[in-house]
Structure 1
């Protein structure tokens, strides 16, 4: 048994920058009802500040069009019909866009290389003057519609993972730097206080960050923040037409990478720049079943606990399985990135975020398996987790906590997800993996997606409380210690012993 004694004094502040931003599939999906239903659920329970996704300039939103005039000449037409509908909905739900400029509109593309089933064009513009004008028109429209004070709060990120040939033609660094500079100048020419940054690279290419910041210094290219992505999966060991399987690195790998990049920024010509992780997850594949499992939640718990030491935000990819990078999802559970599965079913990782949302701002203790916090009202909220990547049964961990409480009578509430609770993916397997479950099956999956809940009443001793916990394989638990306001004495003649089977309290 591991024994932990927690002092009265707070170690540090626990920052909530883990909920600064959340990822989404391409923005055009926001025109679907189920997408909006899922976003409403997320915002009601967790409430992220920003949302980032691909496809702002993709043709399904239709911002960039060209009109042929009577004299045969062609002029650009900027159509904001759909993006207004999408961003209006975001704003109504209390979430702001974290803008990603991309991908290239077909009429501006220099060639036909695309990515994803929805054919996002990944080539430079065929006319950089038209690209500049497009960026100016888009940003100016946002200010006209939502006001300068609001849009000054929106980060503008240039492109997505240009270090990969999948996302930028030939992964041409110099061409990306050209795109970045022209885009950043276009944004700043609308208003100098707008925030613009990049390079939005994938992991494993951090030399791009040094080169990018050196370029911005040497070329006087505006830069207000640095962005990067972060995934923890190894190369695929098996890929089928519908699924991808990968091993995961140790869960400290991402934290080590963040520390390294933060030090790199600090040593650059721009040492005080904010650092945003605009995508992260375990696997980078949208068809990896690990995303549907309790392991995914247990793996990422330490990241939520510690990544804020190094970054200003880190954005989980993504909030919903309404997502189409490899075509329309072909089954209820298909390895999608989302916190919420199709049909509004909460995955284990959803509860991880919901649990962290109930933590306090004072950090009393943190280690590789727990985070103990105190809330403003003096109540205690504890996140516990037990990551196990080995196969088989067992692997329980036992903890004994000795911690301070500011009240005598304590109501303990514990919510738990693990292999046997809030694991709808396993229930779905027991059902025979129905691809398109009927309403009764969906109702069962929703029921079984709820955490195990336990309660108790305890008494502190001289301002201290001792608790013992057994944490099962891939469990994540939230433990809340809340003061009891006992009103039993206000009931005249109360006597529970008169109820059959019960004793007097």
Structure 2
């Protein structure tokens, strides 16, 4: 067994480049309260990474995003954020948006958007307008984004209940005329056909064949004001139209809600049964085309009077149940699954100002939750033997809203939030996972059942590239309460025997690093920051190093590092060599 170099924290003051050891030890001053110290926390966590023990390919399941308001796509900050999403990983990011067929003038508001693709003249003849739609898809193309095209919602001219059509969130119901079935399925089929044909002609076969297509959103609840059977008909008609326009298209659904709910579980089963065993509404044959399966797991955070308690167990229960349902169908067991919306709760446009349980969104807790969730999704996919493609984070940006209002967004007024830096960390991971263990890890089965309510989950994902190893470590707990940091003892073994040194880079997300929210609060929470303040916020929103890069010794194929990791903090340690 190859030996990793060891170093004691007591030796830190005497560290110099001449020593045959290396230490990086950060003591973070955290606010300490009675509740903080009463919460259980391990004093240390031993993490072992085995570079020479590859486990499996590591695909970028995190590069999927979405949002309700498609017209924000081509706003200045929207274009900026698309570019940042595209830069997360060498593999292109996918983006899913609502309202691509919704009637309107293109003016966006919370939970609303429109393209005015289809209207009718006085005689009932179709009138197509692609101007707004092209702005959306041109922005995707310019940023290198691949669309996960959501076919919806119902144009006003086709709705069986067209009035009222535009909602006024947060006043009143959002489920207005756009949510109803078509009054003429043949006309709907033609709209979908023309929609797909236009995109194919504009962007070309080689590009469009990389896209994904799905039908509607959450048809098991009020997003669809029809019956399940009417949705199955809509699905069959829509898929037929897509494939007539572009036979190479990959189509899926149903993007129903989280199947931890029995009603949602039954809808998903019925849809899968329809696609496998029931009569197709278009061709009269048995079965419907289904290239991927999608549903929406959500968590359930609670406000506990003076802190947020995350509800990760509920989200994982929905994923577990959905995976089991898919695996129960021999026809679909190996069909790729996309979590079409995978989030800590269910309302991106509900701010923390009016919903205090959503106050997790501005700081590092959202980042740590994201790492925790993705790790356990990978576990569940492996355990259930299903093919997992990706998880859509339903978060983007809102225009003309206050700074750090507490919406579920990746950026606020062009300033990146800590959660985006969690995705940047994932993007630094290599494409081959290697063996890694943590003595501070909470077992996935326990997290799925109970959440993280006792000891924090100090967990790890390690990966590798040529001449490089990357280690992502996070310290997560459901309760957003101050607690002592945990000393992480990281040992990396199995490095090339002839390598004598490596370049260490240590990236960090916590209360003081990669955190524009903390910087903004320190400024006095300005809603009209000066140019200098805005520039400072922009810098603070980027992924930051904990310390300057440094050469570290590699002895007998091993390297060693110690550092303190705060609660809800993330570290990405990267070691490269020639």
Question: Smaller-chain TM-score range?
Answer: 0.7 to 0.9
Distance across 1 between alignment mates of 2:302 and 2:364? 21
Partner residue, 2:155: 105
CA gap 1:169/1:437 in 2 versus in 1, 3 angstroms: farther
Distance across 2 between alignment mates of 1:199 and 1:348? 31
CA gap 1:408/1:113 in 2 versus in 1, 3 angstroms: farther
Contact 1:281 1:316 in 2 (8 A): yes
| 1:286-301 correspondence to structure 2 within 5 Å | 286=348, 287=351, 288-301=358-371
Distance across 1 between alignment mates of 2:368 and 2:322? 24
CA gap 1:381/1:115 in 2 versus in 1, 3 angstroms: farther
Partner residue, 1:495: none
Distance across 2 between alignment mates of 1:388 and 1:75? 58
Shift of 1:14: 4.4
TM-score, length-normalised on structure 1? 0.85
Distance across 1 between alignment mates of 2:481 and 2:328? 45
Shift of 1:444: 3.1
Contact 1:365 1:371 in 2 (8 A): no
Q: Is 2:192 the counterpart of 1:135?
A: yes
Shift of 1:80: 1.3
Structure 1 alignment gaps of length 5 or more: 239-244, 486-505
Contact 1:388 1:395 in 2 (8 A): no
Shift of 1:108: 1.3
Larger CA deviation: 284-293 vs 385-394: 385-394
Shift of 1:55: 0.9
Partner residue, 2:550: 456
Contact 1:64 1:79 in 2 (8 A): yes
Q: Is 2:487 the counterpart of 1:398?
A: yes
Deviations 1:352-387 (A, max 9, x none): 110111111222234543434343322111111111
CA gap 1:99/1:438 in 2 versus in 1, 3 angstroms: same
Shift of 1:42: 2.7
Q: Is 2:144 the counterpart of 1:77?
A: no
Partner residue, 2:97: 53
Distance across 1 between alignment mates of 2:460 and 2:339? 22
Distance across 1 between alignment mates of 2:166 and 2:74? 21
Q: Is 2:302 the counterpart of 1:248?
A: no
What secondary structure sits across from 1:3 in the alignment?
strand
Contact 1:65 1:78 in 2 (8 A): yes
Partner residue, 1:470: 564
Partner residue, 1:422: 514
What secondary structure sits across from 2:536 in the alignment?
helix
Distance across 1 between alignment mates of 2:314 and 2:505? 33
| 1:430-445 correspondence to structure 2 within 5 Å | 430-445=522-537
Partner residue, 2:324: 263
Contact 2:339 2:390 in 1 (8 A): yes
Task: Tell me: higher relative CO, structure 1 or 2? Use CA pairs within 8 A at least 6 residues apart.
Answer: 2
Contact 1:6 1:402 in 2 (8 A): yes
Partner residue, 1:275: 337
Larger CA deviation: 146-155 vs 415-424: 146-155
Q: Is 2:281 the counterpart of 1:226?
A: no
Partner residue, 1:169: 225
Shift of 1:15: 2.0
Deviations 1:178-226 (A, max 9, x none): 2112212222233443222111012132221111011122122322211
Partner residue, 2:59: 16
What secondary structure sits across from 1:18 in the alignment?
coil
Shift of 1:234: 4.3
Aligned pairs, number: 464
Q: Is 2:493 the counterpart of 1:412?
A: no
2:120 to 66, 91, 110: 66
Write 1 or 2 for the structure with the bigger share of strand. 1
CA gap 1:125/1:246 in 2 versus in 1, 3 angstroms: farther
TM-score, length-normalised on structure 2? 0.74
CA gap 1:236/1:67 in 2 versus in 1, 3 angstroms: farther
Shift of 1:46: 4.0
1:202 to 257, 268, 271: 257
Shift of 1:306: 4.3
Shift of 1:418: 0.7
| RMSD of Structure 2 on Structure 1 (CA) | 2.5
Distance across 2 between alignment mates of 1:105 and 1:237? 42
What secondary structure sits across from 1:265 in the alignment?
helix
What secondary structure sits across from 1:283 in the alignment?
coil
Partner residue, 1:126: 183
Contact 1:157 1:198 in 2 (8 A): yes
CA gap 1:193/1:125 in 2 versus in 1, 3 angstroms: same
Partner residue, 1:322: 398
